[in-house]
Structure 1
Amino acid sequence: MASFIFSFKVSLFLFLFSFLHVYTVTCAEYEVGGDHGWVIPKGNNADQMYNQWASGNRFKPDDTVRFKYKKDSVMVVTEEEYQKCQSSHPLFYSNNGDTVFKLERPGLFYFISGVSGHCKRGQKMIIKVLEPASPPDQPQNQNSTDGKNNGSVQRPSIASPINVMLLVTSFIGFSFY
């Protein structure tokens, strides 16, 4: 009888522990512009380079975008400021050469260069963040239609507090048997 109870406890613990891993969510980090980085676009369709790059990716809440650049800056602005290519009060500003911005909500995000004249030469981008799926998506890498990852790296996020609580509760319950 004692071995049956022990086996039951181990099985219950393993089941609850594996349950914790079912609901972990993955996020992705995207390097803006892929191999090009955050620079003034050149060539045909230069004014649409970053929007074409962004439209080839599927952004979700909690994903991040990384801007790599030299002697430039990144600003998150309103739609009106995006259209005018200028902002005196951006929603976000960084000029450290390696900026990471977290896409915290679904919707549109408007990015422009803060250096005078760069935005009008095509250094601007709109990112659309999709609504989260319900129930949570399984980890997948649907970053582009051509099968390339366009500079994204998947990384696991921290497990939710309720899953951690379930794990701790199951461990405590296991200890008292």
Structure 2
Amino acid sequence: MEPSKVFVLLCLLSTLHFLVVSCVQFEVGGTNGWKVPKSKEEYNQWASKNRFKVDDTVHFNYSKDSVMVVTEEEYDKCKSERPIFYSKDGNTEYKLNRPGLFYFMSGVKGHCEKGQRMIIKVLEVEPASPPPQAATELQKKKNSAAGIAVSSATVVLCFVSFVAVFMF
């Protein structure tokens, strides 16, 4: 394949990747990682400062510990005999695959009671439907904004492709 065609193909793929990818990986606890916190509400405060969407992932970095996804009842009791998910590899990634609440806690005895637990709320893909008239106006604004964003990306891509073909 000619170098100019390779360049154009790479530009096209990188632009499409930028437009399509929208999920985020969150580092649980920031730089502190997943450990017994100083404050019992530390992880829930961290979670409340973030906006989680379907297909985002949460990454737990820890040593000599574990991560469990449990039911609300198990979370409230800080006890689970049959967690929905369990990992103890020190480097756990969990995909938030649906909207709603996810309940996380440490599987090490006594850690949950000391505050090593967290509730994550995953937002709906689309917000609740507004009244019909407002929905029509909102859709017009979305279509207008989306048209501008796609048009700009298309213009840039076309320009880069044009330049690449004639330079190489």
| Band the TM-score falls in, shorter-chain normalisation | 0.5 to 0.7
Distance, in Å, in 1 between the alignment partners of 2:100 and 2:60 is: 20
Equivalent pairs counted in the alignment come to: 117
Q: Which runs of 4+ in 1 moved over 2 A?
A: 20-23
2:100 to 94, 99, 107: 107
For 1:1-177, what aligned pairs fall within 5 Å after superposition? 21=16, 24-42=20-38, 46-133=39-126
Distance, in Å, in 2 between the alignment partners of 1:74 and 1:103 is: 14
Aligned-residue RMSD, C-alpha:
2.2
Partner letter of residue 77 of structure 1? Answer: V
Shift of 1:113: 0.2
Q: TM-score scaled by structure 1?
A: 0.62
Shift of 1:23: 5.7
SS in 1 for 2:58: strand
Partner letter of residue 87 of structure 1? Answer: S
Greater RCO (CA < 8 Å, at least 6 residues apart): 1
Distance, in Å, in 1 between the alignment partners of 2:110 and 2:21 is: 40
User: In the TM superposition, what whole-angstrom CA distance separates every residue of 1:22-53 from its partner, at most 9, and x where no partner exists?
Assistant: 861311000000011000011xxx11000000
Partner letter of residue 27 of structure 1? Answer: C
Distance, in Å, in 1 between the alignment partners of 2:119 and 2:82 is: 18
Shift of 1:133: 3.1
Distance, in Å, in 2 between the alignment partners of 1:25 and 1:73 is: 30
User: In the TM superposition, what whole-angstrom CA distance separates every residue of 1:56-115 from its partner, at most 9, and x where no partner exists?
Assistant: 000000000000001000000000000000100000000000000000000000000000
Unaligned runs of 5+ in 1: 1-16, 139-177
Unaligned runs of 5+ in 2: 1-11, 128-141, 147-168
